[in-house]
Structure 1
Amino acid sequence: MADLHSTFTEFDDIIKLSSKKKETLRTSRNSIRTDIEKYFEEKREKHTVSFKGQGSFMMHTTIQPLSKEYDVDDGVYIFGKEEDRPTPQTAHNWIYDAVKNRTSSESLDKNTCIRVIYKSDYHVDLPIYYKVEKSDNENTLDDEVPEIAHLSKGWIQSDPYAFKKWFDDQSKGKSQLKRIVRYLKAWSDKKQNDNAKLIFPSGMIFTILASNYYVENDRDDLSLLETLKKIQSNIDDIRFEFINYECYRPTVDKNENLLDKYSSETTKNNFLNALDSFINSGDQAIELESKKDACSKWQKHLGDRFPCLSIKEEKSNSSARVFTTPDQVSFDNKSAK
């Protein structure tokens, strides 16, 4: 059977953020924090501000998207008395005013955040939270559930930092799990890059599904395949009886089925059919003797970045197809199922 563990770890090195890119994103994030701190020091006497990084950047599961546009999420936490709580729009206005001159691109006021756009290839999203100031003036971010300034829903409970802590616990000592999450995101990114109309579940959903149904193995190809199968057997209500198409948050709001947003007949069928196809190709890849032929099966779903060209067959008399150019890779993949 073809063992492509080393090919998968090479792929992970290709898709994950480099140390240089991480430092660039961190520097931009910190500059924005300085702008906001200065604004509150000068213009907001009744409020203080703090920050908590959140999202895939902080969980180390960010991938290099095919679109080349990265994103960083940095939570802005405003502390003040209950009677001094601003409206969500006012809170958005404060943060917008604080960062509007950070870059030459105009910042965006979105429903759940302020977005600061860097032309080089990334943006920083700033969701805004409010926490009631404690009487002892010891404001913390780790006790009560904060409320996010949602322009259409008002102030609602939301705690992405708690989600980060949950994933930190799930992935502690499991570097393979983080790689599995990145592989799933790369699969989703490739599918949606191929078809702009295709809607796949969010990175948060893939993170939850991978964590809930992770199957450890010494080989990443086997771990990914068995994790995919376990995910399928727990959410695919088309192919399995007595199964619900569900993925619940492990933190606030625990009653929210995140897959509801992706439950229209077309969206759900596209996703579950793609999942089934991914699994079928993985099964075929595992059974093949030729690593190059096996690689073409995985590459169909993970894209041309999956490094088939670097594979060398162990047997000199292998009858495997020889991959010489990306075009030939694409042509050979037409036979992959």
Structure 2
Amino acid sequence: MADLNETFVSFNGNIKLSEKRKKELRTSRNAVREDIRKYFDDNRDKHTVKFKGQGSFSMNTSILPLSGEYDVDDGVYIFGKEEDRPTPSQAHGWILKAVENRTNQNSIDKNTCVRVQYAAQYHIDLPIYYKTTDNDNEYFFDSSDVPELAHKDKGWIPSDPYAFRLWFEEKAKGKEQLKRIVRYLKAWTDNKHHLNLPSGMIFTILAVNNYVSKDRDDEAFLETLKSIQLAIDSSKNFWARYECFRPTVDTTENLLVKYSSETKKKNFLDALDSLITSGNQAIEAKSKKDACAKWQKHLGDRFPCSNIEEKDEDVAKAFSSPDQLRYDNKSA
């Protein structure tokens, strides 16, 4: 049986953000924060502002996307009295004004955030929240006072991404392998972007809820995939439900509804099944190169097969020339 644990760990190194990139992003994020603080100090007598990182960057599960365009999500929390609450469009306008000179790129006003675009192929998304209480602790987290997101179409809606971050950090505490599996899932969806597979948040929840720990990353990834399939694919398990609920506000929201059309659902479940089939074949393969090709078909060229050395001389001989590569056209 082929052991590709080292190959998976190398793959993780290929797709995760480097410390240099992280530092660059933090520097840009902090500069944007200072712009917003200054704007509020100078222009908003009835409001104060604080910040909390959110999303994959804050949870250390970010990957470098194939497009080269990566991002940071940084929540902007406006504090004030209820009677001084702005409209979502007003709140967006304040943040747009605050960051207008940060880069030479035009900032983008989206429904759920303001995006500060940098020329170096990254951007900072600034979702905006309103809170009427501030308990003055470092993270101003208060489960009884859920922040409300400024959505330009839907108005102020309850949303607490920091609670999601706390949930993930608790579930992933001491489980670096789980974080790597989340990155592997994101890299898979990035490589299969044409299929419009579910979001990184959905796969983060599915990975946490169905995580299977193993000594080897290839086995842990495969067993977690199987567990996810048994949870959501009724064609494989009668008790399965095509559902993925938020663990925090709003806990009644099934995030897979967005991917429930006949085409999207079929694409997702078929792709998942194909990945599992290839994973099974890879685990059972005698040749590491053959096993690596099975995974690489789904995870992309960043999955490193070129540096694999066969220990079995007979198997290595079979790969002595390109036309002898043992690919099975009928395999997944």
Same fold (TM over 0.5): yes
Distance 1:335 1:138, change over 3 A: closer
Distance 1:79 1:335, change over 3 A: same
Of 314-323 and 77-86, deviating more is 314-323
Distance 1:321 1:187, change over 3 A: farther
Q: 1:310 aligns with which of 301, 307, 311?
A: 307
* Correspondence 1:1-337 to 2 at 5 A: 1-133=1-133, 141-143=140-142, 144-192=145-193, 195=194, 198-319=195-316, 322=319, 336-337=331-332
After superposition, the CA RMSD in angstroms is 2.0
Distance 1:173 1:91, change over 3 A: same
Distance 1:214 1:320, change over 3 A: farther
In the comparison of the two structures, how many residue pairs are matched? Answer: 330
Query: Partner of 1:308: helix, strand, or coil?
Result: coil
Q: 4+ residue stretches of structure 1 with deviation over 2 A?
A: 136-141, 237-240, 319-325, 331-336
Residues in 2 aligned to 1:236 and 1:118: alpha-carbon distance in whole angstroms: 40
Distance 1:313 1:188, change over 3 A: same
Q: Is the 8 A contact 1:71 1:122 kept in 2?
A: yes
Q: Is the 8 A contact 2:310 2:316 kept in 1?
A: no
Residues in 2 aligned to 1:320 and 1:290: alpha-carbon distance in whole angstroms: 11
Q: Which amino acid aligns with 1:131?
A: K
Give ranges in structure 2 of 5+ residues lacking alignment. Answer: none
Q: Is the 8 A contact 2:52 2:139 kept in 1?
A: no
Distance 1:17 1:335, change over 3 A: farther
Residues in 2 aligned to 1:214 and 1:41: alpha-carbon distance in whole angstroms: 46
Q: Is the 8 A contact 1:115 1:126 kept in 2?
A: yes
1:92-112 Cα shifts (integer Å, max 9, x gaps): 000000001111110000000
Of 151-160 and 237-246, deviating more is 237-246
1:300-327 Cα shifts (integer Å, max 9, x gaps): 00001100001000112215653989xx
Residues in 2 aligned to 1:274 and 1:323: alpha-carbon distance in whole angstroms: 32
Q: Is the 8 A contact 1:109 1:115 kept in 2?
A: yes
Q: Is the 8 A contact 1:293 1:321 kept in 2?
A: no
Residues in 2 aligned to 1:320 and 1:244: alpha-carbon distance in whole angstroms: 47
1:194-252 Cα shifts (integer Å, max 9, x gaps): x3xx2110000000000000000000000000000000000012332232100000000
Residues in 2 aligned to 1:142 and 1:235: alpha-carbon distance in whole angstroms: 33
Q: Which amino acid aligns with 1:171?
A: A
Residues in 2 aligned to 1:154 and 1:139: alpha-carbon distance in whole angstroms: 28
Q: Which amino acid aligns with 2:154?
A: K
Residues in 2 aligned to 1:91 and 1:252: alpha-carbon distance in whole angstroms: 22
Query: Partner of 1:310: helix, strand, or coil?
Result: coil
Residues in 2 aligned to 1:243 and 1:46: alpha-carbon distance in whole angstroms: 51
Distance 1:254 1:321, change over 3 A: farther
Between the aligned residues of both structures, percent identity stands at 63
The offset of 1:25, in angstroms, is 0.5
Query: Partner of 1:123: helix, strand, or coil?
Result: strand
